[in-house]
Amino acid sequence: MSAAGGKLREEQLWFAGAIMTGAALDEAERRLTPGPKLGPRERLDVYRHGYEARLVECLADDYPVLKHALGEEAFTGLCRAYIARFPSRSPNLNAYGRHLAGMCEGFAADLARLEWAIVEVIHQPAGEPLTLETLATIPMEAWATARLVAGEAVRVLTMDHPANDYFQAVRDGDTPPLPGRACSAVVVYRGGRTVWRMGLNPAMHRVLAALIARQPLEAALSLAGDEPPERVTAWFREWVSSGLFVGVETG
């Protein structure tokens, strides 16, 4: 294999630096030829603009509701800062936006975490769901210590703002005001090819989080506190029926 050096590498380092960071743009005049209608610098700018636009578009695809919440201008500004801080180092853009919540504050951070959870479950295998029929085969004496195995395409989020309610309202075509602080929790999961979100009250969150953490069934269900047993049973059946779990460990 030929050496990866010399003039070719030097030209690539310049070109990439120019379009990604705007470095040494004045060198375009000597490094590039003029075209029939555009000068060297204008030709370079086609690539500069394309670079940024492509990554902003990628982030907008992953964070459509955050874009709605912030507005076009603020969202684009956020994206520009993100692109400068996190240049892509991957062959594809599937995980490019994973750090965006870390560059947001308050409600925007919660909303970004929710939207990224959706991206994550899309790219995780759904797995073969555990069924209520399979659970029914577990001997009664094994129930207390049995542990459920959550699917890989399941994310539970706790947030300081009702981001899921806001998300749903925007998806329904509304333009809700940005919400104030209020603790909330949501489970994001994939059922077949569809991504679902299910709001969780505090008791539901405690129980589901414990189940996903593979705590024994009896201990996890006891975290429901004063909730009536039939209600807890209904939650449990819904979670299992929704495909949040893919296995059960006994013994």
Provide the binding-site residues for other proteins, judged by CB under 8 A: 1-2, 4-9, 11-13, 15-16, 19-20, 30-33, 35-38, 40, 42-44, 46-47, 50-51, 54-55, 58, 87-95, 121-126, 152-153, 190, 193
Q: Which of 100, 66, 104, 72 is nearest to 86 (CA)?
A: 100
Closer to other proteins at the Cβ: 13 or 74?
A: 13
Strand partners, 197: 188
CA 104 to chain centre: 14
CA quadruple 25, 26, 29, 33: dihedral, nearest 10: 0
Query: What is the closest distance, in whole angstroms, from the C-beta atom of residue 17 to other proteins in the complex?
Result: 9
How far apart are CB 122 and other proteins at their closest, in Å?
Answer: 5
**What is the smallest separation between the CB atom of 211 and other proteins, expressed in angstroms?**
22
Nearer to other proteins, 87 or 106 (CB): 87
Q: Which residue in this structure is represented by tokens 């009702």?
A: 162
Of 191 and 216, which CB lies nearer to other proteins in the complex structure? Answer: 191
Give least dist CB 228 to other proteins, A: 37
Instruction: Choose between 49 and 231: whose C-beta lies nearer to other proteins.
Output: 49
162 closest CA partner among 206, 212, 106: 106
Report the nearest approach of other proteins to the CB of residue 32 (Å).
5
Least distance from C-beta 61 to other proteins, angstroms?
10
Nearer to other proteins, 56 or 185 (CB): 56
φ/ψ (deg, to 5) at 224 = -70, -10
- Nearest approach, Cβ of 196 to other proteins (angstroms)? 13
Under 8 Å between Cβ of 68 and 75: no
Paired with 155 in beta bridges are 188
Output 82 or 236, the one with its CB closest to other proteins. 82
Nearer Cβ to other proteins, position 6 or 139?
6
Residue 122 region by backbone torsions, left for phi larger than 0, else alpha for psi between -120 and 50, else beta: alpha
Q: Is 226 helix (H, G, I), strand (E, B) or coil?
A: coil
Contact partners, residue 224, CB within 8 Å, separation at least 6: 203, 206, 207, 231, 232, 235
